[in-house]
Amino acid sequence: MLLHSKKAFSHALKGAVLASLLGMGTAISMPASAAPAVSLLETGSTLLYPLFNLWVPVYTKQHPNVRITTQGTGSGTGIAQAISGVAQIGASDAYMANAQVKMHPDILNIPLAISIQMINYNLPGLNNRHLKLSGSVLAGIYSGKITNWNDPQIARLNPGVKLPNHKIIPVHRTDGSGDTFIFTTYLSDTTPEWAKNIGYSTTVSWPNVQGGIGAVGNPGMVQALKSTPYGVAYIGISWKKPVQKAGLGTALLQNRAGKFVLPTVETAKAAAGEMVSKTPADERISLVYAPGANSYPIINYEYAIVKKDQPNAQTAAAMREFLNWALAAKGGNAPHFMKAVNFVPLPENAVALSRKQIAMIK
């Protein structure tokens, strides 16, 4: 174990989640007597934010010459600040688009782990049941074509369930979000009309749905859904505990094989097993909507977006060492870290590709 005790680990997790819910950046620093030689800024994905906040205290204790500051700002900001050089590590649930890569060929997209996205709802009297939802139904909800919870399309998926005759309130991200990227990828993969008219990205032009609301970050999505009866939202798996604490429901989601599965580490591993071998050298690939009867349909790599060319050799060395530690089975990908945020450790073939990319940092 890298942490001294289960109690210390529990305190670290609670602190990370609390900081995230408050929307605060967190700086992990050493005592004044051990002034850091290298400072790194990580910013971006609120899905990755709790994991970084577990990693950083452990890593900086082992490496007192490194100071790492973390900020949960959304994947879009993480990518932009990594490109601009404001941040050394841009955390993102989304890989960079082809156009971005063409404009910024010096940027690497390095997977660190595999995450899952939940579909949650706040349905009075039904939050203790796992309703079945599909990509086409969710596309209908978010495009305003399916407006009531007792709509025939939802009822057909949930025979025997007394669905309320009440307006559905879709909740979406208003910030540049990797969660939006993978959610709209699922909608695009399952619904041709969504793919044609709206598509997928970290930001999309959301249809104007009556009553629909926006929120910032995963903590904002949890809070918005908690306070919005009859709402539905997409939320990253690292926020599972706050979702459960709020008493919200979690959907069984239809996969490519037509089966309905829950967002678990087991179903995410099944999906990863179908897709990871297809990962190209630059590791930009969607793992969404994988084949396989047991595959959960919304999983993806969690990326560190970094520049190949760092301002100096010292920073480059610190970056390589930290990112390699993050990938290690006895480092950042250790079971207790992954379990705390419900992530899937990076498979060995993907680890090898990530290490090759890390070696390019200089």
User: Which residue, 211, 220, 214, is CA-closest to 246?
Assistant: 220
Q: Which H or E run includes 295?
A: none
How would you label 12-45 residue by residue, b for 16+ Cβ within 10 Å and e otherwise?
A: bbeebbebbbeeeebebeeeeeeebebebbbbbb
| Calpha distance 113→350 (Å, rounded) | 9
Residues 319 and 346 grouped into a single domain: yes
Question: Are residues 134 and 253 both part of a single domain?
Answer: yes
The pTM score is 0.89
Residue 295 within any structural domain of the chain: no
Within a domain: 14: yes
155 in the same domain as 102: no
Give the amino acid at 35.
A
Which residue shows structure tokens 């598509």? 199
Together in a domain, 101 and 204:
no
Side-chain half-sphere exposure of 101, counting CA atoms within 13 A: 11
- CATH code for the domain of 74: 3.40.190.10
**How buried is 164 (Cβ within 10 angstroms: 0-12 exposed, 13-18 middle, 19+ buried)?**
middle
| Pair (194, 106) in one structural domain | no
**Is there a single domain that holds both residue 23 and residue 97?**
yes
What is the largest distance, in Å, between two alpha-carbon atoms of the chain? 66
In a domain, 294, yes or no: no
The C-alpha atoms of residue 152 and residue 301 are separated, in whole angstroms, by: 35
Non-local CB neighbours of 42 within 8 Å, separated by 6+ positions: 52, 68, 69, 70, 71, 87, 88, 89, 90, 91
68 and 133, same structural domain? Answer: no
Same domain, 109 and 124: no
Strands 249-250 vs 107-122: parallel, antiparallel or unpaired? antiparallel
Q: pLDDT at position 13, please?
A: 42
Predicted local distance difference test score (pLDDT) of residue 75 = 97
pLDDT of 162-182, one tens digit each? 999 999 999 999 999 999 999
pLDDT tens track for 245-298? 999 999 999 999 999 999 999 999 999 999 999 999 999 999 999 999 999 999
In the chain, the number of structural domains is: 2
Structure-token pair, residue 218? 């995963």
Q: Looking at residues 325-347, what average pLDDT do you find?
A: 97
Residue 36: pLDDT band with limits 50, 70, 90: low
Model pLDDT for residues 172-219, shown as the tens digit of each residue: 999 999 999 999 999 999 999 999 999 999 999 999 999 999 999 999
* 3 state SS of 44: strand
207, 222: one domain: yes
- Same structural domain, 106 and 191: no
Q: Are residues 167 and 248 in the same domain?
A: yes
User: Domain end: 247, 278, 309, which one?
Assistant: 278
Domain assignment of residue 257, given as a range? 117-278
Q: For 15-29, 31-45, 103-117, which range has the lowest pLDDT when averaged over its residues?
A: 15-29
Q: Look up residue 333 and give its DSSP letter.
A: T
Q: Quick check: 30 pLDDT over 50?
A: no
Q: What is the 3-state secondary structure (H, E, C) of 89-132?
A: EEEECCCCCHHHHHHCCCEEEEEEEEEEEEEEEECCCCCCCCCE
* Confidence band for 5, pLDDT divided at 50, 70 and 90: very low
Identify the pLDDT of residue 273.
97
What is the mean predicted confidence (pLDDT) over 127-152?
Answer: 98
Residue 219 and residue 149 share a domain: yes
